[in-house]
Structure 1
Amino acid sequence: MSNLALITGGSRGLGRSSALALAERGTDSVITYHSNRGAADEVVAEVARRGRKAVALQLDVADTAGFARFVSELQQTLNNEFDGRRLDALLNNAGMGIHTPFAETTEAQFDSLVNVHLKGVFFLTQSLLPLIEDGGRIINVSSGLARFSLPGYCAYAMMKGGIEVMTRYLAKELGGRQIRVNTLAPGAIETDFGGGAVRDNAELNQFIASQTALGRAGLPEDIGKAVAMLLSDEASWVTGQRLEASGGMFL
């Protein structure tokens, strides 16, 4: 029987690359999307072309009031599409970025980041615990920005710092169920995140490459492979840890 992963924000960027990397290693998935059903369906089709199965469900990770409905829909999906299996893995990936100097960050922007990157991850994971197998795995996506500092990302990086603390606590509290919990912190990646700046701004891309040990900005596939590695049996003795996949950025 193959593994089954839930990937939030699986319709694009790092979530998409993770679903495809896991499919190539024999893992089925349930991916969530916020509003772009078409992009989610494309990922489902790509997973099928790799010989695995995926289902897409709508989820707004900022809307904690909708989590009970989502968990019920997920349970129905597991029963109808995956023979009642439970989840072997959860990848808390969904998110968005705000690039605003500290002095100009509004309360509304701050609250939005809290809801998506901190409160949403906390309570969604809590809601999903009954559906995760004992011996399962959880990855919480952080950012290199929680280690190094770039102007304009203070509020965003604060949320990711909180996620890294949460990871260590979950690893301790869920250890009795043999559930491994780790943080994956990507560096600068060429996706549409933040308006696609790393991907589309040649000057920024070149600067990142010049500050990275491996001499380039990251690609979505780099992160998909790192996710697959952390979720594999080869990482069975790794929990409560922070793995930065940045190619050695700002060492």
Structure 2
Amino acid sequence: MSINANAATTAAATSTRIALITGANRGIGRATAMRLARDGFDVIVTYRSHREEAEEVVREIGQLGRRAVALPLDVSRVAGFGAFVDGVHDVLRETWHREAFDVLINNGGVQVAQPTLQATPEAFDQLVDVHFKGVFFLTQQLVPLIANPGAIVNISSGTARFYVPERAIYSAVKGAVEVLSRYLATELGPRGITVNVIAPGAVATDFSGGMLRSSEQLQKHIASLTPLGRFGVADDVAGAIAALVSEGNRFVTGQRIEVSGGVHL
């Protein structure tokens, strides 16, 4: 079942740009949904759990004069993607009277921190399923519903470039997403679909149990390593994503853009 909020006034369905954002009930996904709504997008929000958070995002987007629909999705369960795609198709028809959306943002994720030499197959499988296998096959199934020209943004991590303890599996699968993104950029280029990667640095969200957000000592340490002198917040990443998918940014594709304040340059 979807959660649907129709704004009192919206642009005509044919001119409205629609973004689908996975894991948009909190953190970077939520900030991106709100930023794109402020920029004139309507949004399809997905959530794995915490339905009430998704409902709140939908409500707040409606208050901005945009339309939002929330759909449940577990990005680790490839077997459920067919039903999810059918659901997306249904809400596009019911809410926007359209057959396609414009922007896909693969954001949903999970963190498991383990030392490399003690890492378990269970942790490996979980991180691969969520961050690579899920991204690969969800994108594969959603591409037919992306309008021409459109945009895909995949979320990687600064740790695909620099070392952070206990992040070997997570960083490796994010590196795989970066390679996949270059392949997709090449293969989808003829349709005018851009594919880029945003790689956040240390961002204070619920991710990793909210470790950065709750530790003043860690905040000071990150700030000391960063040329811009602070740690990141979700709105920093949302702003970068919004810039990538803006109407005026049609000729950037296959790129990795790190949003980290310049940490570890």
Q: C-alpha distance in 2, partners of 1:68/1:137?
A: 21
TM-superposed CA distance for 1:85, in Å, is 4.3
1:203 corresponding residue in structure 2: 217
Whichever residue aligns with residue 17 of structure 2, its letter is: N
- Do structure 1's residue 58 and structure 2's residue 72 form an aligned pair? yes
2:251 corresponding residue in structure 1: 237
Scaled by the length of structure 2, what TM-score is found? 0.93
Q: Deviations over 1:157-194 (max 9, x none)?
A: 00000000000000000011110000000110010100
Q: C-alpha distance in 1, partners of 2:170/2:132?
A: 10
Q: C-alpha distance in 2, partners of 1:64/1:142?
A: 20
Matches for 1:137-156 after TM superposition, within 5 Å: 137-156=151-170
TM-superposed CA distance for 1:98, in Å, is 1.2
- Do structure 1's residue 135 and structure 2's residue 144 form an aligned pair? no
Q: C-alpha distance in 1, partners of 2:197/2:153?
A: 6
- Do structure 1's residue 227 and structure 2's residue 241 form an aligned pair? yes
Whichever residue aligns with residue 202 of structure 2, its letter is: A
Q: C-alpha distance in 1, partners of 2:187/2:101?
A: 18
Matches for 1:83-94 after TM superposition, within 5 Å: 83-94=97-108
Q: C-alpha distance in 2, partners of 1:82/1:11?
A: 21
- Do structure 1's residue 47 and structure 2's residue 61 form an aligned pair? yes
Q: C-alpha distance in 1, partners of 2:236/2:154?
A: 16
Scaled by the length of structure 1, what TM-score is found? 0.99
1:79 corresponding residue in structure 2: 93
Identity of aligned residues (%): 49
Whichever residue aligns with residue 231 of structure 1, its letter is: V
Number of aligned residues: 251
- Do structure 1's residue 190 and structure 2's residue 204 form an aligned pair? yes
2:191 corresponding residue in structure 1: 177
Unaligned residue ranges in structure 2 (runs of 5+): 1-14
- Do structure 1's residue 29 and structure 2's residue 52 form an aligned pair? no
Whichever residue aligns with residue 72 of structure 1, its letter is: D
TM-superposed CA distance for 1:48, in Å, is 1.1
Q: C-alpha distance in 1, partners of 2:260/2:44?
A: 26
- Do structure 1's residue 19 and structure 2's residue 33 form an aligned pair? yes
Tell me which stretches of 4 or more aligned residues in structure 1 moved more than 6 Å.
Answer: none
Among 115, 126, 130, the alignment partner of 1:116 is 130
Q: Deviations over 1:2-46 (max 9, x none)?
A: 210000001000000000000110000101000110000011111
Report the secondary structure of 1:163's partner residue.
Answer: helix
Q: Deviations over 1:63-90 (max 9, x none)?
A: 0000000001111111111112411000
2:22 corresponding residue in structure 1: 8
Q: C-alpha distance in 2, partners of 1:183/1:80?
A: 31
Q: C-alpha distance in 2, partners of 1:111/1:159?
A: 10
1:214 corresponding residue in structure 2: 228
Q: C-alpha distance in 1, partners of 2:43/2:100?
A: 11
Q: Deviations over 1:89-109 (max 9, x none)?
A: 000000011111101110000
2:263 corresponding residue in structure 1: 249
Q: C-alpha distance in 2, partners of 1:108/1:244?
A: 29
Report the secondary structure of 2:248's partner residue.
Answer: helix
Report the secondary structure of 1:205's partner residue.
Answer: helix
Whichever residue aligns with residue 13 of structure 1, its letter is: G
Q: Deviations over 1:128-176 (max 9, x none)?
A: 0110001100000000000101110000000000000000000000011
Q: C-alpha distance in 2, partners of 1:172/1:146?
A: 21
Q: C-alpha distance in 1, partners of 2:25/2:51?
A: 8
Report the secondary structure of 1:229's partner residue.
Answer: helix
Whichever residue aligns with residue 92 of structure 2, its letter is: L
Unaligned residue ranges in structure 1 (runs of 5+): none
